[in-house]
Structure 1
Amino acid sequence: MYVPAHFAEQRLDELHDLIRQYPLGILVTHGAAGLDANHLPFELLVEAGRPDRLLAHVARANPIWQEVADGAEVLVIFRAEDAYISPNWYPSKQETHRLVPTWNYRVVHAHGRLRIRDDARFVRGVVARLTRTHEARLEQEKPWKMTDSSPAYIDQMLAAIVGLEIEIVRLEGKAKLSQNRESRDLKGAAEQLRQHGQEALATRMLNTLGE
C-alpha cells in the first residue's frame, strides 16, 4: 500500500481500534487457483507474550481452507469510514482554482500467516467470541447466545464451518484525512461532510488539527 508520510497511521491502539470497530475484513489469499478474496468478520485477539492474532471461520463448502497452504502469507484489509471530497468545499479553491477532487478514508492492512483450524473446540471458541462481541453492541435486554439453541443444532452448524487463525506479522495503517491541505480547507471539507451526514469522518479530520 502506498502511504505518504503525512497519511501514515502508526499508533498501534488506533490500528487495533479500527479493526475492532470495522471487523468485516477482506481476506486476500493466493492459492493454486490464483488470487482470491473473502469477506469475513474477524475477532482481534491481543494477549501478552503472544503475537496478535485474527480469528475467523468459513463455510466448509468454501474451498479456501483446502486451496491455501497452512502457514501461507495472507493479507486482511479493514476499511473504516470514507467519502468523496469536492474541490468546491475548499475555501482556497475560490482564490487559486488549482484543486481537484479526492477521496478521504481510513484503512488497516494486516499482513500475516494463515493457519487452518479444522477442530471443533477452536471453531466453537471463535463463534462464541464473535457472538459475544457483536451481541454486546445491540441494545437489547437478552443477547443471543449459543445455548439458546439445542446442542444438537449447534453441533450441526459448527460441523459445517472451518476455523481460520492468522498470526499478524505486520500492520499498516493509512488515514487520508486532508492533512496535506491548509487548515481552512480541511475545516471547510469537514463541515460539508457533516452536512452530508458523514459526522464520524468529519470528526476524524478535525482531530488531526489538534485544536
Structure 2
Amino acid sequence: MFQPQMFHETRPEVMHDLMRAHPFAALVTDALGQITADHVPLVLHPKAGEYGALHGHIAHGNPLFRITTGPISAMAIFQGPQGYVTPSWYPSKREHGKVVPTWNYVIVHARGILRFQQDPDWLMQHLHDLTHAHESHRPVPWQVSDAPAEFMQRQLRGLVGFELTITELSGVWKVSQNKTEADLAGVRDGLNAEGRADLSQLVADRARDQ
C-alpha cells in the first residue's frame, strides 16, 4: 500500500480506533490458489500480542475452511470514511487554478496468521463479544442468551471461528494534510455542506496533529 510518507499512520492505538469504529473488514487470503476476499465483521482484542488479534467467524461450508488446513497468512482491510474532493473547494483555485481533484480516505491493513477455532465455547464467547460490541449502546441490548439455547447450538454447528494474530499493522490517513490552511478550511466546509461531517472531522483532526 504505497503512499507518500506524510500520509502514513504508524500508531497502533490510532489504527485500533478505526478498526473498532469500522469493524466490517475484507479478509484477504491466497490459501485457495488464488486471491480471495471474505467480508466479515471482526472483533479486535488489542492486548493479544504486540499488535492485537482479530476474532471472526465464517460459514462452516466456506471453502476457506473446507479446503485449507493449518494456519494461513491473511490480511484484514478496514476502510474508514472516504470521499471525492473537488478542486472547487480550494481558494487556491481562484488564485492560480493549479489544482486537481483527489480522493480522501483512511485505511488500515492488518496482516498476520489466521487459525481456525472450532471449540464451541470459543465460538460462543466470540458471538457474545461481537453482539456486545454492537448492542451495548442500545436502550434494550439484544444478548445471545435472549435466543433459545437449543436454537443457538444449531446455529453454532453452521459456523467456524477464526483468530487472526496481527504481526503487522499499516495505515494511510490521506485527508488533505498536504494542503494549505486555506485549502484545508475549504475542504472541511465543502465536506460538511455535502453531509460528510465524518470525513470533515478527520481532516480537522489530522490538521491539528501536524
State TM-score, norm by structure 1: 0.94
The alpha-carbon distance between structure 1 residues 82 and 48, as it changes in their structure 2 partners (threshold 3 A), is closer
3-state DSSP of counterpart to 2:35: strand
Aligned identity (percent) is: 34
1:36-185 map, 5 Å: 36-47=36-47, 52-138=52-138, 140=139, 142-185=140-183
Render the CA deviation track for 1:45-89: whole Å, top value 9, x for unaligned: 022666611000001121111334422111100001011000111
3-state DSSP of counterpart to 1:31: coil
CA distance in 1, matches of 2:199, 2:11: 18
The alpha-carbon distance between structure 1 residues 69 and 92, as it changes in their structure 2 partners (threshold 3 A), is farther
CA distance in 1, matches of 2:39, 2:21: 16
CA distance in 2, matches of 1:158, 1:27: 21
In the alignment, what sits opposite 2:19? 19
Render the CA deviation track for 1:98-140: whole Å, top value 9, x for unaligned: 21111001110001101011221111111111011111133x2
Aligned residues of 1:179 and 1:208 also touching (Cα < 8 A): yes
State the AA in 2 paired with 1:67: I
> 1:143: Cα distance to partner?
1.1
Please point out which of 197, 206, 209 is paired with 2:207.
209
The alpha-carbon distance between structure 1 residues 185 and 196, as it changes in their structure 2 partners (threshold 3 A), is same
In the alignment, what sits opposite 2:190? 192
- Structure 2, unmatched stretches of 5+, are none
Aligned residues of 1:85 and 1:189 also touching (Cα < 8 A): yes
Range with bigger deviation, 77-86 or 201-210: 201-210
State the AA in 2 paired with 1:203: Q
- Structure 1, unmatched stretches of 5+, are none
Range with bigger deviation, 143-152 or 157-166: 143-152
The alpha-carbon distance between structure 1 residues 115 and 88, as it changes in their structure 2 partners (threshold 3 A), is same
Residues matched between the structures, number: 209
State the AA in 2 paired with 1:103: W
Aligned residues of 1:79 and 1:108 also touching (Cα < 8 A): yes
> 1:13: Cα distance to partner?
1.2
Q: What is the aligned-residue RMSD (CA, Å)?
A: 1.5
The alpha-carbon distance between structure 1 residues 87 and 50, as it changes in their structure 2 partners (threshold 3 A), is closer
3-state DSSP of counterpart to 2:55: strand
Aligned residues of 1:30 and 1:68 also touching (Cα < 8 A): no
CA distance in 1, matches of 2:67, 2:87: 46
> 1:35: Cα distance to partner?
0.9
Render the CA deviation track for 1:155-193: whole Å, top value 9, x for unaligned: 000111000100000100110001111111111011000
